[in-house]
Amino acid sequence: MTRRLALEGIENFRDFGGYAGRGAQRLKTGRLYRSGHHARASDADLEALKGLGIAVVVDLRRPDERVRDPSRRWDGFGAEIIDSDAEQERTVEWLEFLKSSDLTVSAFRDYMLDYYRAAPLDPRYLDLYGRYFRSVADSDGAILVHCAAGKDRTGVVCALTHHLAGVHDDDIVHDYLLTNDPARIEARSSAVGELIFETTGRRASDEAVRYAIGVHADFLAAAFAAIRAQFGSIDAYLEQGLGLGPDLRRRLHDQLLA
């Protein structure tokens, strides 16, 4: 299947359904979408989104990101919007990291590993993820999950969705790593490098910038390891942390699997 939908102003848009799931079932296609933010969506992009039957938009961005880059919506937009105040302190933390960092690959890796270990256990994310899954269970339309770049916050939610549906671990990682599209990384490298220079007065190497723009399997592994350390298993996290009991999980399977 073709996962990517080539849009003019929305980065990293793709269908994350279609994988083999529990038993002989597969995740439905045209039901689960993921992307970067929509602030620079073109009119043509909005028409394309309008045709997807999106019933729920899950905006994982921080409040300051939503204010800085407000989402564009298509005519007649009526989807449910799910968001929160999660990570509103992270802007300051990120800037402090950049200013104090040596801007090497190793520094970016350590920062991101710490982030992935902490984020899924943040009570605000437990609430947000739980609301996301309940909306999936209640909605017959398509679900669109996005953050700023559609890679880290979005990547964790999509991986949890895949796990719940019984997608094999190899396919979970494969889908997560699709964010490392060479054209996407090439297009973003210059702007991200300049942003780092404007913030710090120092240049990061091309290798470090590209590393920071991408995703890496050990990031997702760190998130899942932290979840297992806290809850014992991913399934226990879904049940105890997010409130997805047996009845709700059966409804989610019915909605997601064909």
pLDDT score at 111: 96
Per-residue pLDDT tens over the stretch 152-195: 999 999 999 999 999 999 999 999 999 999 999 999 999 999 99
Per-residue pLDDT tens over the stretch 67-86: 999 999 999 999 999 999 88
The structural domains of the chain, ordered by start, are 14-256 (3.90.190.10)
Express as a percent the part of the chain with pLDDT over 90.
94
DSSP state, residue 53 = T
Cα–Cα distances in Å, from 99 out to 114, 199, 250?
Answer: 17, 7, 47
The pLDDT confidence band at residue 1, using thresholds 50, 70 and 90, is low
Burial class (CB within 10 angstroms; exposed 0-12, middle 13-18, buried 19+) of 113: middle
Burial class (CB within 10 angstroms; exposed 0-12, middle 13-18, buried 19+) of 51: exposed
Residues 128-153, mean pLDDT to the nearest whole number: 96
Q: In what order do the strands lie in the sheet with 54-59?
A: 14-15, 32-35, 142-146, 54-59, 80-82
Q: pTM value?
A: 0.96
